[in-house]
């Protein structure tokens, strides 16, 4: 809250006139100066019942003798001008006296222009003072609400793409607009992506989700290609897809075993954190293909894959993970969002095996 006030001290102070007394010193009595404690011979002045050498009655602020009127404050004496500057309200930014309007905040006083320039928080997008309605992104960056819809948000991290916050951004050929913070972290190297697959499989195995490294491959494709492969042309948020093929071997018309082969497709141009999250989701599909009935409802299937991705990502120390986790928590899609929330409500805090048993049972 900002208040505009005038100095209370200015109202309280009253101008007091100085009294000079010139009189011969009486022989019988020694008069001492209240300031220097020396004997006074000749002219003296009396202020508040105390005697002073005329040159020893000095201003607290400038140290020069006071001749004429003075002002008193907390037992000290001042020239009227010195008193004015001593008691005037000063700006906590520039240190200069505030004569006109002022702004008070947290028991400090400011010139309005100093306040605006140095104290008001700055918008992290346009760097102008932040007044009026503002928003905060998941990373804690505050910005004017009116930038939303005018400037693009990064499709990877959700930050507003601008020079101040993200050092600009770029467009991918498939139309995605991403910020340069994310672009710096994009993983293109095929071997590194293969290593990420191995890493996520190892982690899921540790979580009790049994997967083989021998029948799963990964391939990076752009958005248009991913839509084409998945057949989900209208689903713009799609970041991964898994093709699972099973070959069932029969002996004497009796099913002996099914050999599976899984091809995972991951959206290109993403940082490794995002790739890992997508791989965890798609790998859960590979597990489901091998271990659960085919007729599982879509919200259970996608919800449980998102839940495993969530469980995988939740331990990441990458600050951008917040955005991914929040994206899943706040997703309102009936399959991916509500499906995830349903599974999460049911299995959060329980061992992963409880979820796996539930999925196997086909409920
Ligand atoms: Zn003196
Ligand atoms: Zn003075
Ligand atoms: Zn100022
Ligand atoms: Zn702004
Ligand atoms: Zn970004
Ligand atoms: Zn899925």
pLDDT reported for residue 19: 47
- Digit-by-digit pLDDT tens for the chain (363 residues) are 444 443 444 333 434 444 455 555 445 578 899 999 999 988 889 999 999 998 999 999 999 999 889 999 988 999 999 998 888 899 999 999 898 899 998 889 999 999 988 888 899 999 998 888 899 999 999 999 999 999 999 999 999 999 999 999 999 999 999 999 999 999 999 999 999 999 999 999 999 999 999 999 999 999 999 999 999 888 878 999 999 998 888 888 887 788 899 999 999 999 999 999 999 999 999 999 999 998 899 999 999 999 999 999 999 999 999 999 999 999 999 999 999 999 999 999 999 999 999 999 976
Distance 42 CA to ligand 1 centre (A): 12
Structure tokens at 199: 């890493």
Cα distance between residue 253 and residue 319, in whole Å: 55
Q: Does residue 97 sit within a domain?
A: no
Ligand nearest to the CA of 335: 6
| Positions of E strands within the chain | 20-21, 44-47, 50-52, 71-73, 76-78, 103-105, 108-110, 134-136, 142-144, 169-171, 177-179, 216-221, 240-251, 254-267
Same-domain pairing of 180 and 200: no
Same-domain pairing of 200 and 180: no
Q: What domain count does the chain have? A: 3
Domain containing 156 equals 134-185
pLDDT reported for residue 15: 43
Which residues have CB atoms below 5 A from the ion given as ligand 4? 123, 125-126, 144
pLDDT reported for residue 234: 81
Same-domain pairing of 281 and 332: yes
Cα distance between residue 269 and residue 287, in whole Å: 26
Compute CA distances 34 → 40, 41, 59, 78, 150, whole Å.
10, 14, 14, 16, 73
Burial of 56 (0-12, 13-18, 19+ CB in 10 A): middle
Which residues have CB atoms below 5 A from the ion given as ligand 2? 59, 61-62, 79, 82
Q: Does residue 37 sit within a domain?
A: yes
pLDDT reported for residue 132: 82
Degrees to nearest 5, angle at CA 198 with 356 and 359: 10
pLDDT reported for residue 28: 54
Q: Does residue 198 sit within a domain?
A: yes
Q: Does residue 231 sit within a domain?
A: yes
Distance 62 CA to ligand 2 centre (A): 4
H/E stretch holding 167 reads none
- Of 87, 110, 145, the residue that ends a domain is 87
Same-domain pairing of 282 and 170: no
Distance 22 CA to ligand 2 centre (A): 23
Residue 177, helix vs strand vs coil:
strand
Same-domain pairing of 227 and 317: yes
- Of 185, 204, 222, the residue that ends a domain is 185
Same-domain pairing of 243 and 316: yes
Q: Does residue 164 sit within a domain?
A: yes
- Of 87, 107, 124, the residue that ends a domain is 87
Q: Does residue 309 sit within a domain?
A: yes
Same-domain pairing of 49 and 147: no
**Residue 78 is part of a domain; what is its CATH number?**
2.10.110.10
The sign one gets for the Cα dihedral 107, 108, 111, 116 is: negative
Same-domain pairing of 251 and 346: yes
Which residues have CB atoms below 5 A from the ion given as ligand 1? 33, 35-36, 53, 56
Q: Does residue 116 sit within a domain?
A: no
Same-domain pairing of 322 and 204: yes
Same-domain pairing of 157 and 259: no
Same-domain pairing of 318 and 224: yes
pLDDT reported for residue 8: 40
* pTM, two decimal places: 0.73
Distance 321 CA to ligand 5 centre (A): 12
Distance 92 CA to ligand 3 centre (A): 7
Q: Does residue 29 sit within a domain?
A: yes
Residue 198 near residue 149, CB atoms below 8 Å: no
Same-domain pairing of 213 and 304: yes
């Amino acid at each position: 809250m900002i208040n505009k006030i005038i100095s209370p001290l200015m109202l309280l102070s009253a101008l007091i006139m100085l009294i000079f007394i010139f009189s011969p010193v009486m022989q019988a009595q020694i008069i001492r100066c209240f300031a220097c404690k020396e004997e006074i011979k000749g002219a003296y002045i009396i202020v508040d019942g105390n005697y002073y050498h005329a040159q020893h009655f000095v201003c607290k602020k400038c140290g020069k003798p006071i001749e004429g009127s003075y002002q008193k404050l907390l037992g000290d004496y001042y020239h009227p001008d010195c008193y004015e500057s001593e008691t005037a309200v000063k700006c906590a930014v520039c240190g200069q006296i505030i004569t006109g309007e002022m702004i008070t905040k947290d028991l400090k006083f400011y010139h309005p222009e100093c306040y605006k320039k140095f104290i008001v928080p700055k918008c992290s997008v346009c760097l102008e003072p932040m007044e009026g309605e503002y928003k905060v992104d998941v990373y804690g960056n505050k910005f004017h609400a009116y930038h939303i819809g005018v400037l693009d948000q990064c499709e990877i991290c959700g930050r507003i793409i601008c020079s101040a916050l993200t050092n600009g951004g770029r467009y991918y050929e498939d139309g995605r607009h991403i910020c340069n913070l994310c672009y710096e972290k994009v993983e293109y190297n095929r071997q590194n992506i293969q290593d990420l697959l191995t890493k996520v499989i190892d982690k899921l195995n540790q979580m009790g989700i049994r997967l083989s490294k021998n029948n799963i491959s990964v391939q990076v494709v752009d958005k248009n290609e991913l839509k084409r492969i998945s057949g989900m042309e209208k689903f713009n948020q799609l970041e991964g897809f898994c093709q699972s093929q099973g070959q069932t071997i029969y002996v004497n018309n009796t099913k002996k075993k099914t050999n599976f082969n899984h091809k995972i497709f991951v959206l290109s141009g993403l940082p490794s954190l995002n790739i890992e999250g997508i791989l965890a989701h798609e790998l859960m599909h590979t597990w489901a293909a091998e271990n659960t009935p085919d007729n599982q409802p879509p919200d259970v299937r996608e919800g449980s894959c998102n839940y495993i991705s969530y469980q995988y990502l939740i331990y990441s120390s990458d600050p951008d993970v917040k955005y991914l986790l929040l994206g899943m928590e706040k997703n309102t899609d009936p399959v991916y969002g509500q499906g995830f929330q349903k599974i999460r409500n049911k299995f959060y805090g329980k061992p992963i095996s409880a979820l796996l048993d539930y999925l196997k049972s086909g409920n």
